Amino acid sequence: MTSLETERLRLRQFREADLDQYAAIVAEPETMTFMGGPRDRARAWMDIAWCLGHWTLRGYGLWAAEEKTSGRLVGRIGLLNPEGWPGLEVGWLVARSHWGRGLATEGGRASLAYAFGTVGAEHVISLIRPDNAASIRVAEKLGETRERETELFGAPALVYGTACAAAESAELGSDSI
């Protein structure tokens, strides 16, 4: 299972020792506003198991995002495409304490480059709730554009997306891995 490094992040596999920090991140109500609400410790453990299982089954997945300078877990960033999903998604979730520093964009850029360069994807999407302005902004900064609307777990979601050629012309990843 691959790890990546960006300027400030180590994108690596989750481990069980991440549980305390990950559970604290997903227990924070504001962070989870657009992700179904805060999650308890047991659900956080299942998230970690889900991320690792996705890697095993698909050969790619979400990474634990660790801040290189502190070694602290600051979120989860990477790729997901579980059964029934509308496409290969690049996704991001950053600890509330670390918002606004460009970390989701930095990790998302490396993830997109991995999707196109290593996984061999031709098109990548991001599924975003219409009111999640920060996430829409991250998608736009990565060169994704709004493609259509869909429904996710019974609620509206926007599909942002980009094709490999568009990402290459934006020179995604050239300075990030």
Instruction: List, in order, residues 6 or more apart from 10 with CB less than 8 Å away.
Output: 3, 4, 65, 66, 67, 68
Kind and range of the H or E element at 135? helix 133-141
The least distance separating ligand COA from the CB of residue 52, rounded to whole angstroms, comes to: 20
For ligand COA, the closer of residues 24 and 35 by Cβ is: 35
> Rounded to the nearest 10 degrees, what angle do helices 41-58 and 19-26 cross at?
110
The least distance separating ligand COA from the CB of residue 87, rounded to whole angstroms, comes to: 14
For ligand COA, the closer of residues 50 and 99 by Cβ is: 99
| Residue whose C-alpha is closest to residue 91's, from 43, 49, 54 | 54
For ligand COA, the closer of residues 51 and 128 by Cβ is: 128
The least distance separating ligand COA from the CB of residue 130, rounded to whole angstroms, comes to: 11
Residue numbers at the binding site for ligand COA (CB under 6 A):
31, 34-35, 92-94, 99-105, 128, 132-135, 137-138
